[in-house]
A and B are shown apart, each in its own frame.
Chain A
Amino acid sequence: QVQLVESGGGGVQPGRSLRLSCAASGFPFNNYGMHWVRQAPGKGLEWVAVISYDGSETFYADSVKGRFTISRDNSKNTLYLQMNSLRPEDTAVYYCVRDSLNWGLDYWGQGTRVTVSS
């Protein structure tokens, strides 16, 4: 069965960096685009970034552009999110999500919590 397991979350001070990882299994990882989606405490869903199946294309939400980098290692079936210059407003649960081929997000990880606070 499809499994997406995020890791790397935690508490960090403003301005610092954090790298999230997502280990994928149960499907041909190198055939699917992948997304990161976040949800601030008590708030709605916010799309963060997408990467194509082969890593050749990436797109970002304006709120993270220039600070976050999405990447993938298909040899390790792993998705990453490098987050730099973190701000308090980046505090959220970050979900790793598979794209079903038409921007429908069909499998979600359990999420990893990131807290940015001094």
Chain B
Amino acid sequence: QSALTQPASVSGSPGQSIAISCTGTSSDVGGYNYVSWYQQHPGTAPKLVIYDVTDRPSGVSSRFSGSKSGNTASLTISGLLAEDEAVYYCSSYTSTNTMVFGGGTKLTVL
């Protein structure tokens, strides 16, 4: 159950687009379309922003989108807003009926 690999930090200016990668293996990210992304602001519980690789829960801005190619999933945030500054985590279902998270990526809006 090794953690998925995410960059430690990314940054962008308001209005720009950024992408966060999440790399796993064929036993997790590459093997199933059960990749999710979570946004966590300091001192609060995480919030689901993408599930099933590309789907957005009701109420989540269309500025958030997800994709996957091989063993790597990506979260793209377009039209960056100051409120998007947070830590983002990916997760995936695995072949052993467990779940694994990425280490988290801190997004800074410059």
Interface residues of A in 67-118 (CB under 8 A from B): 95, 100, 102-106, 108-111
Instruction: Knowing A102-B51, A105-B38, say if A62 contacts B45 (CB, 8 Å).
Output: no
B91 touching A110, Cβ below 8 Å? no
Interface band, chain A:
20 to 34
Query: For residue A57, which residue of chain B has the nearest CB?
Result: B97
- Min CB distance, B36 to chain A, in Å? 4
A44 touching B89, Cβ below 8 Å? yes
Q: What is the CA–CA distance of A110 and B40 in the complex, to the nearest angstrom?
A: 12
- Min CB distance, B90 to chain A, in Å? 10
A108 touching B45, Cβ below 8 Å? yes
- Min CB distance, B104 to chain A, in Å? 4
> With an 8 A cutoff between CB atoms, is B24 at the interface?
no
> With an 8 A cutoff between CB atoms, is B103 at the interface?
yes
- Min CB distance, B6 to chain A, in Å? 9
Instruction: Knowing A45-B104, A47-B100, A61-B1, say if A102 contacts B48 (CB, 8 Å).
Output: no
User: Footprint of B on A, CB under 8 Å?
Assistant: 35, 37, 44-47, 50, 57, 59-63, 95, 100, 102-106, 108-111
Question: What are 20 residue pairs bridging A and B, where the CB atoms are less than 8 Å apart in the complex?
Answer: A44-B3, A44-B101, A44-B102, A45-B46, A47-B91, A47-B99, A47-B100, A47-B101, A57-B97, A59-B98, A63-B1, A103-B34, A103-B36, A103-B91, A103-B92, A104-B36, A104-B48, A105-B46, A106-B57, A108-B45
